[in-house]
């Protein structure tokens, strides 16, 4: 979505419709947190992140397949309603798959990986977009990376860490 405004402008979208696009994206990001909560809580393994990435892919793909205002709004709804939930989905997998003492380093590592992707993705997409093919190439790359991420997420198996612990008690009357 880094280059979506330039893409929309390049296709003749005026400032008013771009403002509406951002408003829809913003409202969808708030509503999306509530919509994604239940599926993320129920889906096991990497299915939650895979589903979020698939919806993000669809949202990024819409402006490429149709230049209509409806496609742009659909993109804002799908992408806006999902991008913030990716963090929740990955955190849920880490918390279910790892013992509590591994949560912090795992989530920190995932955060760093996400940050690198947030930095490098637009860089590569920008370089490609500067070519003669234009912004479509960068956006297409983004869709491909999101879909690849969804496929990789599906390979994450479900490992449920037991939430109960064995507690041994000593009867004070028999202790020596």
Looking at residue 136, its pLDDT comes to 83
Overall average pLDDT of the 26-33 stretch: 95
**What's the pLDDT tens digit per position in 57-105?**
999 999 999 999 999 999 999 999 999 999 899 899 888 888 899 999 9
Per-chain mean pLDDT for the chain: 86
Q: What angle do CA 88, 140, 37 make, to 5 degrees?
A: 15
Tokens of 135: 């912004």
Q: How confident is the model at residue 166 (pLDDT cuts 50, 70, 90)?
A: very low
Instruction: Return the higher-pLDDT residue of 165 and 99.
Output: 99
> In 10 A of CB 121, how many CB atoms?
16
Instruction: Return the higher-pLDDT residue of 159 and 47.
Output: 47
Looking at residue 5, its pLDDT comes to 84
Q: What's the predicted TM-score (pTM) here?
A: 0.82
Cβ-Cβ contacts under 8 Å for 171 (sequence gap 6 or more): none
**CA–CA distance, 168 with 16 (Å, rounded to integer):** 67
Looking at residue 142, its pLDDT comes to 86
Question: Is residue 138's pLDDT more than 90?
Answer: no
Tokens of 119: 């930095």
Looking at residue 169, its pLDDT comes to 53
């Amino acid at each position: 979505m880094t280059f979506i405004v330039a893409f929309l402008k390049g296709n003749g979208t005026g400032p008013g419709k771009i403002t509406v696009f951002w408003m829809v994206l913003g409202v969808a990001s708030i509503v999306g947190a509530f919509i994604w909560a239940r599926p993320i809580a129920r889906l096991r393994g990497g299915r939650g992140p895979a589903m979020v990435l698939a919806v993000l892919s669809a949202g990024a793909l819409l402006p490429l397949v149709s230049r209509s205002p409806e496609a742009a709004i659909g993109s804002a709804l799908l992408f806006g309603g999902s991008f913030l939930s990716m963090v929740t989905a990955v955190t849920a997998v880490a918390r279910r798959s790892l013992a509590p003492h591994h949560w912090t380093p795992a989530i920190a590592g995932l955060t760093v990986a996400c940050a690198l992707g947030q930095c490098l993705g637009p860089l590569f997409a920008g370089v490609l977009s500067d070519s003669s093919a234009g912004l479509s190439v960068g956006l297409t790359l983004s869709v491909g990376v999101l879909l690849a991420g969804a496929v990789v997420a599906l390979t994450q198996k479900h490992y449920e860490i037991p939430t109960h612990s064995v507690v041994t008690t000593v009867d004070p009357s028999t202790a020596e």
